[in-house]
Amino acid sequence: MIHVAVFDTKSYDRPGFESFNGKDLSFKFFESRLTEDTAVLTKGFDAVCVFVNDDVSAKVIDMLIDNGVKLIALRCAGFNNVDLKHALGKIRVVRVPAYSPYAVAEHTMALLLTSLRRIHKAFIRTRDFNFTLDGLTGFDLHGKTVGVIGTGKIGRIFIGICRGFGMNVIAYDPYPFQDADFPYVPLEDIFAKSDIISLHCPLTAETEHIINEKSIAAMKKGVFILNTSRGGLIDSEALLEGIKTRQVGAACLDVYEEESDFFFQDYSGHIMSDDVLARLISMPNVIVTSHQAFLTSDALANIAQTTAENIRTFFENGEAPNEVCYLCQ
């Protein structure tokens, strides 16, 4: 029997993983995140299953190894919360590279449409039987230029959706997709020519704060910025300043660089201690969702299945087809 500790578990995580509990796999769920304080709970487990806000730092990795854990199984695509350099040669790390790229791409477009057509404001207004149209004017997507940063599976699907709306697409990626039927341009052109910029790249040392004070100043006045990838891609204070000066016309964020302190939790009865996040949410042209772009029944089923297969394959024959390694980056 392979015993797996699942951290940062929510109610929607359980059904998919519980369906794989059986003769060879046993998942135990912990609501708490994996941290230096909770790593003690991993004693006696063969593997840990973690999510985006779990702490898989060097110290935690050493604690997992001391407790006999042999595999870290990410139930997500991103791995910026894992110290891969420290894990190298000590413990294997696997992930779910493509649970549902459609879910994330579709959520990105949903945020854009909601923002530019003021659907969220109209919904609240009509709930009060206010049927006026003042302040609800949007603009056509047809003919607008969207700059897509990152052309992995999610980015390419989002490009396809944008083309369905008749938008002009330009893209940037340091590793261009072969045989792409859309034009790649330098990053500077993305900033200068795009009416809408959408981020679909991983968080690395090269991409951290790719949206910053300098890049925002180089953008078209009134640009829409979308981020459903990783919060650290945007310098939040620079974004806030760009919104205040009207350089940024709107921001649609499913992620935030300090989200681990707040996302997936209910703080409705508390005072928000993060001033930047509080001010962003208060802006009428900012929409924030709490890292829910992945959250579809299809994606959850794929996450559970791929994670279970990753774990089984590793313990059965030592192979890790979805392994993330430091030297591979």
Q: Which residues are catalytic?
A: 230, 259, 291
The token pair at 62 is 């050493």
Nearest CA among 296, 301, 303 for reference residue 73: 303
Residue type at 290 in one-letter notation = S
Q: Which two tokens stand for residue 167?
A: 């938008």
DSSP string of 56-97, one letter each residue: B-HHHHHHHHHTT--EEEESSS--TTB-HHHHTTTSEEE--S
CB under 8 Å to 55, separation ≥6 — which residues?
Answer: 33, 34, 35, 36, 81
Which distant-in-sequence residues (6+ apart) come within 8 Å of 204 by Cβ?
80, 329
Confirm if 27 and 21 have CB atoms less than 8 A apart: yes
Beta bridge mates, 48: 5, 72
Please give the C-alpha separations between residue 16 and each of 189, 280, 284, 300, in angstroms, as whole numbers: 43, 34, 37, 7
Q: Give the end-to-end CA distance of the chain in Å, rounded to a whole number.
A: 33
Q: Under 8 Å CB-to-CB from 165, ≥6 apart: which residues?
A: 141, 142
Could you tell me which of 258, 323, 246 has the C-alpha nearest to residue 285? Answer: 246
**At a CB cut-off of 8 Å and minimum separation 6, what does 29 contact?**
6, 9, 13, 14, 17
Token duo for residue 328? 């591979």
Q: Which two tokens stand for residue 132?
A: 């006026």
Q: Interior CA angle at 256 toward 110 and 42, to 5°? A: 110
